[in-house]
Amino acid sequence: MKTPAATPRARATRRASTAPVVLITGASQGIGEAIALTFARELAGVRLALVARQVDQLRRVAKACRKLGAEARVFPADVGDAASVDALAASVLRVWSGVDVLINNAGRFVPGTFLETTVADFDANVVANLRSVFLVSRAFVPGMISRGRGDVFNMSSIAGLQAYASSAGYTAAKFGVTGLSKVMRADLRSKGVRVCTVYPGATVSPAWAGSGVPAERMMPAEDVARAFLDVYRLTRRTVVEEIVLRPQAGDV
């Protein structure tokens, strides 16, 4: 007997059940938003967990992703706070069985020279840029290990490779992301979990607003987002450990 062809709804349901769950922190604007839209546009049925503190902006991004065919859900959270991350993990795992791709994109730039940087400013940089990577990874990587596969992207910065004046706390935190990512790669490579550290330079985004760098000397956020997707699409036999992205027109 000939098997009836699957209906469009059944095919869509099948795709959704096998599509990856991608969690993006700092997804409400800038590079995080661009990553969400790129994955929504390019991966059929992708399931997006969009995380940030700005609920209204998250909802706007989620709506745009749904229009592109993704299943997008909003998870407001402060990823620098341990209790908030625990609640985030519980909420995500009530919806989906686990996270396949973790993109630790959340961050904050609090400027200041070494002598000008207060303890509070230093701590704010470390919490937003480094502690958040540790907390969110600790919440979701164990599930990847149990399934024997997963992808983690940690957002560092050009400032995580070389020091810049007037960014003592930020540079220290991003160098910390670089070191933590290398440890994660060493610890997780035998467990099927790929770890990639991304070092973008100046990018057209709210983070660079008021910097004085003209847009034509910066990278489009969409280009940075594309790098995440392209790395994810490689076969499981290959890992890109680091990506350095810099504007063609300038040394920023």
Helix, coil or strand: residue 218: coil
Instruction: Grade residue 252 by pLDDT with cuts at 50, 70 and 90.
Output: low
Q: What pLDDT, on the 0 to 100 scale, is given for residue 205? A: 79
Residue 84 predicted with pLDDT over 90: yes
Listed in sequence order, the residues at least 6 apart from 33 whose beta carbon sits closer than 8 Å to its beta carbon are 27, 61, 221
Q: What pLDDT, on the 0 to 100 scale, is given for residue 251? A: 65
Per-residue pLDDT averaged across 34-56, rounded? 98
Q: What is the pLDDT of residues 224-248, one digit of tens each?
A: 999 999 999 999 999 999 999 999 9
State the amino acid at position 58 in one-letter form: L
Residue 131 per-residue DSSP state: I
The model's pTM is: 0.91
Domain ranges of the chain: 20-245
Q: Residue 142 and residue 133: Cα distance in Å, rounded?
A: 14
Q: What is the pLDDT of residues 147-189, one digit of tens each?
A: 999 999 999 999 999 998 999 999 999 999 999 999 999 999 9
For residues 18 and 41, is the Cβ–Cβ distance under 8 A? no
- Nearest residue to 50 via CA among 83, 81, 30, 25: 25
Q: Residue 51 and residue 25: Cα distance in Å, rounded?
A: 5
Fold exhibited by the domain 20-245: Rossmann fold (3.40.50)
Q: Which helix (H) or strand (E) holds 55?
A: helix 55-67
Helix, coil or strand: residue 48: strand
- Nearest residue to 200 via CA among 41, 35, 53, 20: 35
